[in-house]
Amino acid sequence: MSIIEKAASRLNQQAKIPPARSVPVSPPVLVQAQALPSTPADEVEPSQAADYARENIPSPNRFDIDLLRLQQMGLVTPETGRTAIAEEFRLIKRPIIEKAFSAEPGSKKRGNLIMVTSAMPGEGKTFCSVNLAMSIAMELDHTVLLVDADVARPSVPRYLGLEAEQGLLDLLHNPDLDVRDVMYSTNVERLRVLPAGRSNRRATELLASQAMSRLLEELASRYPDRIIIFDSPPVLLTSEARALASQMGQIVMVVEAEGTTQRGLKEALRQIGSNDNVNLIYNKAQAFPGTRYYGGYY
């Protein structure tokens, strides 16, 4: 059975289940992550030492996220208790983290490059991107870079309250810029943000360029504990999502309950092409006892 057939089957199954009045929260499954081995100082090669030194240089850009405002918007923050949404994203992130660092040696695609998208606008992809990034940033052994790759309609700054002119597109267009020039640290210790940047009429070509490939390689390999989440444009609205999808190690497709059509989902999955790790988040749904709105299709 193909990815599309399985996705359509899952939507059919969800539609047949009667809604429940309450939202049960299952206890999270705690998984002990292995600490990354440290390298003694006297064993570090000169090139490695230079990389470590660069990594420890703080970003010149910083902004504080209004965490109370995010909580009021219904998003996950480090201050969030055991709410339904926090528990749901704990469940969602676990297999994503496991796949992020389980790629076989020599694999061309890096599992820690994760694209979050949807078929059409308004289905909740940015809401899921921010929540996923926040939830992973609460891990003890991983850091997160949230990239606003929805260059036609940037939404991450609106959620986080970030005002920035330069970002991803400027970095790809101007070879003199360094990623630290446009990346922002935050008051969430393990969360960094890369805005979309200024609009560019060649955005699709920039995202499909060798400059983008080099940037992805740098982001994925420079920080061995980092997960990079791309809030992508909707697949059926622009061509940028398809350009990004070909370079991602994991794809998360957000499906809006009673909103996303089977036809739209099938076409979106067809357009992103083949990928070994395509996952669905069933969003804006009433909770059904004993069910979860996240699944992987292979």
| Residue 200 included in any domain | yes
Average pLDDT over residues 155-170: 91
- Residue type at position 277: N
Here the tokens at position 152 are: 């036609």
Longest CA–CA separation in the chain, Å: 63
Q: Which residue has the higher pLDDT, 4 or 210?
A: 210
- Residue 231 pLDDT > 90, yes or no? yes
CATH code of the domain covering residue 69: 3.40.50.300
- Residue 82 pLDDT > 70, yes or no? yes
Average pLDDT over residues 117-130: 95
| Residue 128 included in any domain | no
Say what the pLDDT of residue 109 is. Answer: 73
| Residue 257 included in any domain | no
| Residue 126 included in any domain | no
The residues facing 148 across adjacent strands are 231
Consecutive H or E run containing 231: strand 226-231
- Residue 174 pLDDT > 90, yes or no? yes
- Residue 2 pLDDT > 60, yes or no? no
Percentage of the residues of the chain whose pLDDT score is greater than 70? 74
- Residue 294 pLDDT > 70, yes or no? no
Average pLDDT over residues 104-128: 87
Confidence of residue 50 (pLDDT cuts 50, 70, 90): very low
Q: In which domain, by residue range, is 282 found?
A: 3-14+63-121+134-248+267-297
DSSP state for residue 1 in the 8-state scheme: -
How many other β-carbons are positioned within 10 Å of the β-carbon of residue 22? Answer: 9
* Helix ranges, the chain (H): 3-15, 46-55, 67-72, 84-100, 125-137, 156-160, 168-173, 179-182, 203-207, 210-222, 240-245, 262-272
Say what the pLDDT of residue 13 is. Answer: 56
Consecutive H or E run containing 63: strand 61-63
Please, what is the average pLDDT of the chain? 80
- Residue 87 pLDDT > 90, yes or no? yes
- Residue 223 pLDDT > 70, yes or no? yes
- Cβ(238)–Cβ(127) below 8 Å: no
With 0-12 CB in 10 A as exposed, 13-18 as middle and 19+ as buried, what is 97?
buried
| Residue 93 included in any domain | yes
| Residue 242 included in any domain | yes
Task: Return d(Cα 46, Cα 56) in angstroms, integer.
Answer: 15
Among 274, 295, 275, 271, smallest CA distance to 283 is for 295
Number of separate domains in the chain: 1
| Residue 259 included in any domain | no
| Residue 205 included in any domain | yes
Say what the pLDDT of residue 24 is. Answer: 36
pLDDT tens per residue across span 250-284 = 999 999 988 999 999 999 999 988 777 899 999 98
